[in-house]
Amino acid sequence: MPSPSTVSPSEAPLALLRPARLVPLLQIEDVADAVPLARTFVDAGLPVLEVALRTKAAPDAIKAIRAEVQGAVPIAGNIMTAHDLAIARRSGALMAVSPGASDELLKAASDQELPFMPGIATPTELMHVISRGFHVVKFFPAAPMGGAATLRAMAAPFPRVRFYPTGGTSELDFAEWIGLQNVIAVGGSWLAPIDEIRRKDWDHIAKRARYMVSQFMGKRDA
C-alpha cells in the first residue's frame, strides 16, 4: 500500500483506500484495546482502520496503533472542526475523515498537508466540496440516503468523484457497494461492534474479518 508521503494530499485518499476496499470503523473507549484490536484486523487482512474521535481515548489509540502495530494504517474519523484536524495530525493519523463539510473545516483541511476526506449526503453538498477541490468523499449516512442506488445515479453527472460509503452498511450489501466503479472502499462499524470490543472478543472479531476477506477481497480489479 503506498505511503501517503509519496503522493499529493489530493491523491492520498485514493492511495490509502483503493487497496483496502473494506475499512473497519472503530470506537475505542480504552486505549489498552487499541493495539490488540488493530492487530486482529491487520492479521485478518484489513489494515486500514478508521478510529472515530468520539472518545477521550481515540487520539492515544491512534498513536498506539501507529507506533506498535506493523502494517496498520490508522485514519481519524468523525472530524468536525479545525481543532479535530489538529488532534488527528498530532495523533499520527494518516488521513482525516468527516461525516460532513462545513466551510470552516474545508478551509482548515486545504491549509494543511494531512489528507482529508469530507462527507456528503446530497448532490448539492457534493458540488460544494468539488468547488473546494475535493473529489474523494465519504458518503454518509449511506443506507438512509438511498444506498448503492444513489451512488449509481451519481456516476454519470460526477464521473471524477470517488466515494467511501459508511453508515448502515453491512456484510449483506458489501458486494453491491464495492461492485460500483465509483466506490473505492466501504466503511463498516459492524466489523467491530462496541460490545465485542468491550468484552475484548478478538476471536469473534477476527472470524468476521477473515470471512469478509475470504469472500470478497480480490474480486474486482483495483
Take residue 127 and report the three cell numbers written for it: 458540488
Beta bridge partners of residue 75, listed in sequence order: 50
pLDDT digits (tens, 9 = 90+) for 181-203: 999 999 999 999 999 999 999 99
Neighbour-count burial of 5, counting CB atoms closer than 10 A to its CB (0-12 exposed, 13-18 middle, 19+ buried): exposed
The predicted pLDDT at position 1 comes to 52
Helix axes 34-44, 58-68, angle to 10 degrees: 50
Name residues whose C-beta falls within 8 Å of residue 8's C-beta, 6 or more positions apart in sequence: none
Helix pair 103-110, 82-91: axis angle to 10 deg: 40
What pLDDT, on the 0 to 100 scale, is given for residue 12?
A: 78
Query: Is 200 noted as a catalytic residue in this protein?
Result: no
Number of neighbours of residue 111 by Cβ within 10 angstroms: 9
Polymer length of the chain: 222
pLDDT attached to residue 221: 42
Q: Does residue 222 carry a pLDDT above 50?
A: no
Catalytic: which of 11, 50, 104, 125?
50
Report pLDDT digits (tens) over 33-92: 999 999 999 999 999 999 999 999 999 999 999 999 999 999 999 999 999 999 999 999
pLDDT band at 217 (very low <50, low <70, confident <90, very high): confident
What integer pLDDT is reported at residue 105 of this predicted model?
A: 96
Q: Tell me if residue 50 is catalytic.
A: yes
Please provide the average confidence, as pLDDT, over all residues in the chain.
Answer: 93
Q: What does the angle CA 193 – CA 138 – CA 190 come to, to the nearest 5 degrees?
A: 15
Exactly one of 138, 171, 200, 219 is catalytic; name it: 138
Going from the C-alpha of 141 to that of each of 119, 181, 186, the distances in angstroms are: 9, 19, 12
Listed in sequence order, the residues at least 6 apart from 5 whose beta carbon sits closer than 8 Å to its beta carbon are none
Give the pTM: 0.92
**Architecture of domain 4-215 in this structure:** Alpha-Beta Barrel (3.20)
